[in-house]
A and B are shown apart, each in its own frame.
Chain A
Amino acid sequence: QKEVEQNSGPLSVPEGAIASLNCTYSDRGSQSFFWYRQYSGKSPELIMFIYSNGDKEDGRFTAQLNKASQYVSLLIRDSQPSDSATYLCAVRGGGSEKLVFGKGTKLTVNP
């Protein structure tokens, strides 16, 4: 069974701090890695995706991938109260349409 693990939190950080969200996955053949944000009562929305080892930056968000360690993370710099949401890590295996989601980490950014 292919699994994606996340710390369910809640993770609480002060406004302006860096929030670090982590995810590990079990399938070594995984090719694509996604971070979705889900506000309470809303649908998941894509923040970033990453395919290659290393870092990928987009504004205040940085995704980091280490395939050898089967680890992907999301850093949020200068956290804002509007970043408070549940963050879902999703992994797609090679040649597969299927996304496997983690259970999400709930982030709270305190003003």
Chain B
Amino acid sequence: DTAVSQTPKYLVTQMGNDKSIKCEQNLGHDTMYWYKQDSKKFLKIMFSYNNKELIINETVPNRFSPKSPDKAHLNLHINSLELGDSAVYFCASSQDSQTQYFGPGTRLLVL
């Protein structure tokens, strides 16, 4: 069974569209994260939820809105997509601030 899964794996869309990425973890962890990895491979935290509560909210445009329906799921909705949003988005989870386990990533390309 996949520990942290994301859908879709690839997402190609036009500028201005709205899209969502979904993440699920079956590890029983309390904390989930969204990271963005840009073309230079720099991995940066965007958001973190602990038991459905937002605990980290980095300087991210308002167009990005995370939602956690339960502690096993963390989704990311992006409005009015821009060219600069093209990146790989990784979901991760952890328990008690220990090791973070990453999902396979969603490769977003905005045209």
Contacts and interface: CB of A to CB of B under 8 A. Distances in A.
A and B held together in a complex:
yes
Interface of A: 32, 34, 38, 42-46, 49, 86, 88, 92, 96-101, 103-104
Interface in B47-103: 48, 50, 55-56, 90, 94, 97-103
Interface of A is mostly: strand
B99 A97 contact: no
B45 A98 contact: yes
B31 interface: yes
A44 B41 contact: no
A44 B48 contact: no
Contacts of B99: 34, 46, 49
A59 B45 CA distance: 30
A43 B105 contact: yes
Given A43-B90, A45-B102, A97-B56, A104 B48 contact: no
